[in-house]
Structure 1
Amino acid sequence: MTELRVDADEALRLAGVDPAAAVLLAGDVAPAARAARAWAAACVAERALGVAAMQQSRLDDALAHLRAAVRAGRRAADARLTGEARMSLASALMLRGRPRQSAQEIGRALADLDGVAAARALTQRAAISQELGRLDDAFDDLRRALPVLRRAGDVQWATRALSNRGLLHTARREFAAAEADLVAAGRLCTEHGLRLPGAIVAHNLGWVHAQRGDVPAALRHLASAEAAFTGLGLASGSILTDRAELLLSVRLVDEARATAEAAVAADERDGRRNHLPEARLLLSTIALVQGDAEQARAAAETAMHDFGRMGRTEWTTLARYARVQALVEADRAVTPAQVRRVAEALAQSGWAVPALEARILAARLALRRGDAAGARRDLAEAGRARRAGPADARARAWLAEAMLREQTGNRHGAVAALRAGLRVVEDHRATLGATELRAHVTVHRGAIARMGLRLALEDRDARHVLWWAECNRATATLLRRAHPPEDAALADLLARLRATMTAIEERRTAGVTASAAVAQQVGLERTIRDRCRELPGRDGDVPVRPRPVPELQHALRGAALVEYVEHDGRLLAVTVTAGHVRLHALATVEEVRAQVELVGFALRRLAAGTARPASLAAAETVLARAGDRLDALLALPLRGALGDRPLVVVPVGVLQQVPWSVLPSCRGRAVSVSPSATLWHAAAGRSAPGDGRVVVVAGPGLPGARAEADAVAAEYPGARVLVGPDAAAGPVAAAIDGAALVHLAAHGRLRSDNPMFSALTLADGPFTVHDLERVPRAPHHVVLAACDTARSEVVGGGEILGFTAALLAGGTATLVAPVVPVADAQTVTLVVAYHRELGRGRTPAEALAHAQLALAGSDEQSRAAAAGFVVLGHGDRPGSGPTGPPRVPGVDVTLPRHADLAAATPVAAGLPG
């Protein structure tokens, strides 16, 4: 009998650290103890089976074993064993969504226990109170339990108490205290080999960092926790819920939706009814962001019911607010008074950010009803949170303050409040390492920038319109890159991805299935993405804000800037010259979109050159008419302000893909295109490297790439040419580091599904944006003779991601590349002519314009290919390439080759026991 009890005690110890081992041992002890009528051993063994089942999310099994443990304890007439079994039963009932029964069982347990056992029960009751939102009661129980557990050397339970107290501190936004408790708990887990408690601590640390707004740290801890849970064979539904919430906070909405749905499925499968309503509530929020008001309402109402049934009043309040938001979005009848009551309940429950949102929503509803006084009271209440708290709360509070000041006639003060809100957003964004996260989080500034733009437009103030338009443009790229070149793990992952992609191409070429390799590709890309997201912002990263107009005018040097702006479905333009800044009203967005689509269609048809002569002639007619119409919509209304000056064009939205040379006003004219005036100004201030190094790269799979590389290199004596196996990622990255000019002739692939994996194909596989961001110094002047490589993906609040955006972010001053798919065979003549014009002393924008004009009498394929190229960045300074006289070859070079430019989308905490 003594041996049975020893084995039962060991199984109970294992239940909290290695549930699978506990099940194996206790599964033998329990029936043997019952047969021997050794009821104390049976009680402990059944409790071990119940605790292990809880950890493995087999909650019905857990309830059955723990009730059996209580019965066995009573038959053994052992009050302590019975009380401990009830303590574990209380946890299982809570996880099963039965809070009242759980509270009853933990009360009965405490009546039977004293000493260390009572301290454990207090720790358990604190966790139950915490789940129910009774934070003060939970703190009080842990205050009494922790000293007893520490004196007794009960490491496992002391760890649980510290971990749960860390969550309580977080709920009160006492982040330093929370982190201190969790770090102490983690240290104990490491010292004593407590794997499962260590995984729970990592999960809780992820949640703490998420609440304080440190996204990279939160992602790191959540990834560590999920790996630990998976290694132990345990469910990770709550980790998925936290990750989904974190992804939503940086507006990776589609990914957040998929993660939240996985969390719901995991909780439903595992029967964790206490976690399930939270996952459903998060799904409601995501549906609302996606514009699906009906699904958002339905999910919120289900969550309200589940939280109410469990007695979780604070969460019920949050679900009620989600329902109100969905009703407003669906234009259902909701009064400001209803929203105010919800806002007050949210504030009382500690939901700071939702309470702010609710106050602002109440103000907007009041303004619709003409109740200006009520709106001002709501906005004043919301604005009080602007000085302290997390970044998202402070940004929203500054927006409320701006709305309040506008309502009281203080427009100047409103603008000051909006600028303060922008500073909060930008300072927060500077802490994020991954370019992707920085780009997506900018959506938080959208409401602020839109209000600022509206006020400037109402005032007809062209300078302020320009400033606010710049605030809502691609500024994530202006922060210094955060991927250190010395990150060996990231370098290894990228090398493995290149090898995998090469293997996929080889298998497909050989007609062999590549499904396993594609699955490996998907996994590697996910790992690379997650690693980059976990990197913190680098020390010294600072936001770069819009440049004052006088600085832009000085840098223009006789050129003119045109910044297009979109507001309420219409396009406007701000023009800047040495003497004037003017605002112009233009066409509707839809009018322009239609013509841009026609231009793209016609250029693709002509560049392919495979249609019948009549079809090609029709495409030329379409191109000419659409170009004329775009000219009339976008350029001719500005003619008086621009004259015949060289142009710097800052497009918006649909204009990102316009090949400007098809507009008659821009034909033969020096035109530079930039994602923002601020980015253009930064490029204008960069000087070419003094050594004048030229690098020419020819990628694989292009029959004429080697001859093109030789033709371009002939223009620059001493140029370094990388071809064949030398045109691999490592040598190319080393060669282009800080080069004066780089010419890349390679397959280009834009990944619309994940722009950060857009790539050029080199000898050993894809050279992605992630690879490019690891180059210490970006080349000064780059020519991408690869099809479609100037295109970028627009995300977040107008941010762009892609290969060209990464080059401009890294410090490339001038970039020449096509914005539409072109036949590579037709680009050679253009790019050689471009380099020759550079050698004659022309600026990059002038060189491209002259090279395009020189092909005006060529066949339609060559003309279409030439028209598709643009100069990005700064194209107005002579000598932005290498110095020294060029060598002019005796003949032009036109070489047949074809690039495969298809999109490179692959086929394809809990309660302790």
Structure 2
Amino acid sequence: MRLHRSAVKAGAAGKPATAARHAAEALRLLGWPDGEPSAPALAARLLLTLAHAEAEQGRTDRGLELLDRAETLADLADVGTVLQQRGLLLLRRGEIDAALKLLDAAVPVLQEHGEPTVLARTLLNRGVVHLTAGRVRLARADLRQCHDLAGTHGLDLLAAKAEHNLGYCALADGDVPAALQTFDTAADSLRRLHADGFLAISMLDRGRALLGAGLDTAAAEELDQSIELLKRHRLSQDLGEAELARAQAALGSGDLAAAALWSARARARFTRRHNRAWAALAASLQVRVDLAAAARVTAGADHAPEATTRRKLLAVARQATRLAATLRDLGLRHDAGGADLLALRARIAAGDTPTAEQRVAARRVLPADVPLDTRLLRRLTRAELHRADGNPRPALDELHKGLATLQEHRRRFGSLELQSSVAALGADLGTVGLDISWSLGPPGLVFNWSERSRAQSFRTRSVLPPQDPQVADALAELRQLRRAVRLAELEGRPEPLLRARCSELEQGIRRQGWWAADTEEGHGAATDAEVLAELARAGQSMVTYLVRRDQLHALVLASGTITSVELGAYAPVAESVRRLLSDLDTAADRRLPPKLAAVVRASADRQATTLDQALIAPVRAALGTHDVILVPTRQLAVLPWGLLPSLRGRPVSVAPSASVWLAARTADRTATTGSPLLVAGPDLLHADAEIDAIAALYPRGRVLRGAAATATDVLAGMDAAPVVHVAAHGHHDTQNVLFSRLELGDGPLLAYELQRLGTAPGQVVLSACDVGRAVVRAGDELVGFTAALLHAGTANVVASVARIPDELGPKVMAHYHRAVATGVTPARALADLPEATPFVCFGAG
């Protein structure tokens, strides 16, 4: 019937009022509701359509009444549809258990008698219910069945929706890369279908996943696209949430102006919607941004803030106090507690004396269910309070306890839950501790706090789920239920049963130590005494670089002592590093005219000399003649140190922290009992010749070439290998470092996949491209392919931090491996190369 088709079409297009009008008119033509309809089966289907349209307009009870009538008229083919629709309407009313029973009853009936479209939709909805309840395995089974069924019958939109929710399953499992890839696949399908409304939500979810993984820049790009689509489709609530997430991404990347803009937009949008809870959350982020902006001016200052800055800080404190009251009125007690702490921090930074009540509140014992970010914020606030009172040692104790809490959370639960606010607080704990230790004076104390800061932020966030299925299920359920509790809280629903289940899961994880068994941290922060002792045993010296108040400093550890050296402003040094890398990239192009090539090489030499004078000359005497370990900061992490004149011909290794170096030096290497692995990737000129020259040095070595060098085989061959050499194109993805990669025979080997190694290889050489480059985040967290290898436990990684000509690898690598094969250390082998190169030895040396 034409009216029935029109009703169904209007419902699918999101026009429930039109759908209801067409369905009601058709029912009147059939004689309903005045009498028995002339065509019962058709009337049943029209009643189903009308019930859905009524519910879409907020009249769920009316929809259920219509379903009661439809059930009496439906033939066997439509019974499953009635059950499915009744389940969905109960789900709208929050009756999850009753809804699930109806969906469970509908599936076998639909499998026997129903239409594929209705069955696929039922499986999709039941999968979403399971996912919301934290039953991820059941959700995945339903969603996969829906996806396969939809694909078989050409139901492309349902297949895309199932794919998207499978991404949510991966995210609940803690498998961030799989979630991002699945979201990508779903988004591609939605684009082909021109389903822009669903695409906008898909991109919002992917942006949130990137944000949760700490990839703020990539998250911002994804959210920007989502926001444009959400505006076009006038999805106001989702748009406000996207704007709030965009503000979080901006804050995480340090762009305070953008964070202020986006949080203000989100707050205004939620206010217009009369959504007080979400508006208060946006206001809370605004307070954090305002406090961060004012704190930039006063950070580490030894004097009281200027009058203008003080007025701004006191205004932030008043704003935070008012916000705390609003949040309490809304029942958001933990958010209110966080706002109170922000108010106290602002007053302390302004030089104001906290009240006795505020001091008592800061020291009050917290309930067990207080979120991690509030716990860390309180430790930070208490430390700042001690510092303001002139008690630096108790302040350091508070900061140390905060970092210990953060590490314990990582160890127990993994790091997927560490959203940008928590990661930023972790970096703040280390930074404040470093500043306090600097004011106290002893270089050893400064060194120890620099290691605490670097060590806690260097550890890569866990982006893969644990192997134990019991652990995986518990953590997946906990993640989903936490999200459900938070959403219920924002809607004013207490949900005590969900909260109780969360507490039960958390206690079980702590009691069993499940996560700890799956994620061995490997090492803590090294102390000055431990590092000095190992340096003496190794006959080496170390330089740790730090930036404080935009000034560059060096701590030199040599001959049993630590010396602090001031080096000058950081900005000119960072600019010289940028220019040197740019010159090296340009010089790698052999198509340059000879005169231009000479100019570029001369420029690179000048920058190397400038950096040598700034970074090495002031510490040269203290270093003596020892081999050197360098622990860089910020952009110094991507400097080709071996090109600096004072370091040419001298063994140098670079480590993200002294703790990483010490762990690599003292690790048990007896487990690397596999065969050497030599890989020639596809489409790289000279790769085969390079591997042939090296293979003669390793008679037991395994060689993989071209198409045979698959990502799976290379990863398997790396496991427990003493030496791995890869001559393959690579790509360092600055926006999404999880996907930095080596190009192999069947596609890329991605950085995050290295976490699957059972035993890390002892030494890895990456001889092509610039895979040694990295992104340096807050707290000197080094991320990229090289960092992933070091995190996995590889003692030494040799890679270039700049582009190199294709022919350079074969020329120098045979020389390098001849030395290593005779027992020479990687750092010494690099130093003895016949020509200077941008290759760097990362790790133990």
So what's the TM-score if we normalise by structure 1? 0.66
Structure 2 matches for 1:107-186, cutoff 5 A?
186=100
Deviation at residue 390 of structure 1 after TM alignment = 1.9
Q: Which of 619, 624, 629 matches 1:638?
A: 619
Taking structure 1 as reference, are residues 349 and 84 closer, same or farther at Cα in structure 2, changes over 3 Å only? closer
Q: Which of 821, 827, 838 matches 1:868?
A: 838
Matched, 1:428 2:428: no
Counterparts of 1:613 and 1:262 in 2: how far apart (Å)?
Answer: 45
Matched, 1:32 2:26: yes
Counterparts of 1:815 and 1:348 in 2: how far apart (Å)?
Answer: 55
Deviation at residue 22 of structure 1 after TM alignment = 11
Matched, 1:551 2:530: yes
Q: What residue is the counterpart of 2:112 in the other structure?
A: none
SS of the aligned residue for 1:562 comes to: strand
Letter in 1 for 2:518: G
Taking structure 1 as reference, are residues 695 and 387 closer, same or farther at Cα in structure 2, changes over 3 Å only? same
Q: What residue is the counterpart of 1:318 in the other structure?
A: 281
Q: Does structure 2 retain, via aligned residues, the 8 Å contact 1:748–1:760?
A: yes
Deviation at residue 195 of structure 1 after TM alignment = 4.3
SS of the aligned residue for 1:400 comes to: helix
Structure 2 matches for 1:295-334, cutoff 5 A?
304=267, 307-308=270-271, 311-324=274-287, 334=315
SS of the aligned residue for 2:526 comes to: coil
Matched, 1:810 2:788: no
Counterparts of 2:822 and 2:344 in 1: how far apart (Å)?
Answer: 63
Q: Does structure 2 retain, via aligned residues, the 8 Å contact 1:788–1:817?
A: yes
Taking structure 1 as reference, are residues 678 and 375 closer, same or farther at Cα in structure 2, changes over 3 Å only? farther
Matched, 1:361 2:342: yes
Counterparts of 1:259 and 1:34 in 2: how far apart (Å)?
Answer: 49
Q: What residue is the counterpart of 1:715 in the other structure?
A: 697
String of CA shifts for 1:505-531, please: whole Å, max 9, x gaps: xxxxxxxxxxxxxxxxxxxxxxxxxxx
Deviation at residue 433 of structure 1 after TM alignment = 6.2
SS of the aligned residue for 1:744 comes to: strand
Q: Which of 560, 563, 584 matches 1:582?
A: 563
String of CA shifts for 1:411-436, please: whole Å, max 9, x gaps: 22211211222123223334676899
String of CA shifts for 1:819-858, please: whole Å, max 9, x gaps: 211112123232222222234442221222122xxx2xxx
Structure 2 matches for 1:409-558, cutoff 5 A?
409-430=390-411, 442-473=423-454, 478=459, 483=464, 539-543=517-521, 544-556=523-535, 557=537, 558=539
SS of the aligned residue for 1:824 comes to: coil
Q: Which of 388, 394, 398 matches 1:407?
A: 388
Which stretch has the larger CA shift, 277-286 or 448-457?
277-286
Counterparts of 2:26 and 2:370 in 1: how far apart (Å)?
Answer: 58
Deviation at residue 654 of structure 1 after TM alignment = 0.9
Q: Does structure 1 retain, via aligned residues, the 8 Å contact 2:799–2:840?
A: yes
Deviation at residue 311 of structure 1 after TM alignment = 4.7
String of CA shifts for 1:659-688, please: whole Å, max 9, x gaps: 112223212211111112111112112325
Q: What residue is the counterpart of 1:391 in the other structure?
A: 372
Q: Which of 591, 610, 621 matches 1:629?
A: 610
Taking structure 1 as reference, are residues 379 and 631 closer, same or farther at Cα in structure 2, changes over 3 Å only? farther
Q: Does structure 2 retain, via aligned residues, the 8 Å contact 1:237–1:263?
A: yes
Counterparts of 2:702 and 2:265 in 1: how far apart (Å)?
Answer: 65
Deviation at residue 451 of structure 1 after TM alignment = 0.7
Q: Does structure 1 retain, via aligned residues, the 8 Å contact 2:672–2:759?
A: no
SS of the aligned residue for 2:543 comes to: strand
Which consecutive residues of structure 2, in runs of 5 or more, have no partner in the other structure? Answer: 38-42, 70-81, 108-121, 140-166, 295-310, 470-513
Q: Which of 726, 743, 749 matches 2:708?
A: 726
Taking structure 1 as reference, are residues 452 and 257 closer, same or farther at Cα in structure 2, changes over 3 Å only? same
Matched, 1:201 2:129: yes
Q: What residue is the counterpart of 1:654 in the other structure?
A: 635
Q: Which of 659, 664, 680 matches 2:645?
A: 664
Q: What residue is the counterpart of 1:678 in the other structure?
A: 659
Counterparts of 2:586 and 2:261 in 1: how far apart (Å)?
Answer: 47
Taking structure 1 as reference, are residues 871 and 383 closer, same or farther at Cα in structure 2, changes over 3 Å only? farther
Counterparts of 1:328 and 1:485 in 2: how far apart (Å)?
Answer: 38
Q: What residue is the counterpart of 2:770 in the other structure?
A: 788
Counterparts of 1:665 and 1:410 in 2: how far apart (Å)?
Answer: 43
Aligned residue-pair number: 710
Query: What is the RMSD computed on CA atoms of the aligned residues?
Result: 5.0
Taking structure 1 as reference, are residues 29 and 707 closer, same or farther at Cα in structure 2, changes over 3 Å only? closer
Which consecutive residues of structure 1, in runs of 5 or more, have no partner in the other structure? Answer: 67-82, 89-112, 118-152, 167-180, 489-535, 856-862, 876-913
Which stretch has the larger CA shift, 455-464 or 757-766?
757-766
Q: Does structure 1 retain, via aligned residues, the 8 Å contact 2:200–2:226?
A: yes
Taking structure 1 as reference, are residues 773 and 352 closer, same or farther at Cα in structure 2, changes over 3 Å only? same
Q: Which of 560, 563, 566 matches 2:544?
A: 563
Letter in 2 for 1:252: L
Counterparts of 2:264 and 2:643 in 1: how far apart (Å)?
Answer: 54
Counterparts of 2:342 and 2:612 in 1: how far apart (Å)?
Answer: 42
Deviation at residue 455 of structure 1 after TM alignment = 0.7
Q: Does structure 1 retain, via aligned residues, the 8 Å contact 2:16–2:54?
A: no
Letter in 1 for 2:534: A
Q: Does structure 2 retain, via aligned residues, the 8 Å contact 1:383–1:401?
A: no
Structure 2 matches for 1:843-862, cutoff 5 A?
843-851=825-833, 855=834
Deviation at residue 462 of structure 1 after TM alignment = 2.1
Structure 2 matches for 1:337-376, cutoff 5 A?
337-352=318-333, 354-374=335-355
Deviation at residue 796 of structure 1 after TM alignment = 5.3
Taking structure 1 as reference, are residues 778 and 639 closer, same or farther at Cα in structure 2, changes over 3 Å only? same
String of CA shifts for 1:528-582, please: whole Å, max 9, x gaps: xxxxxxxx96743144421222322333222112111122212222222351123
Which stretch has the larger CA shift, 304-313 or 154-163?
154-163
Deviation at residue 339 of structure 1 after TM alignment = 2.4
Q: Does structure 1 retain, via aligned residues, the 8 Å contact 2:52–2:85?
A: no
Q: What residue is the counterpart of 1:253 in the other structure?
A: 216
Taking structure 1 as reference, are residues 53 and 278 closer, same or farther at Cα in structure 2, changes over 3 Å only? farther
Counterparts of 1:591 and 1:726 in 2: how far apart (Å)?
Answer: 47
So what's the TM-score if we normalise by structure 2? 0.71
Taking structure 1 as reference, are residues 159 and 578 closer, same or farther at Cα in structure 2, changes over 3 Å only? farther
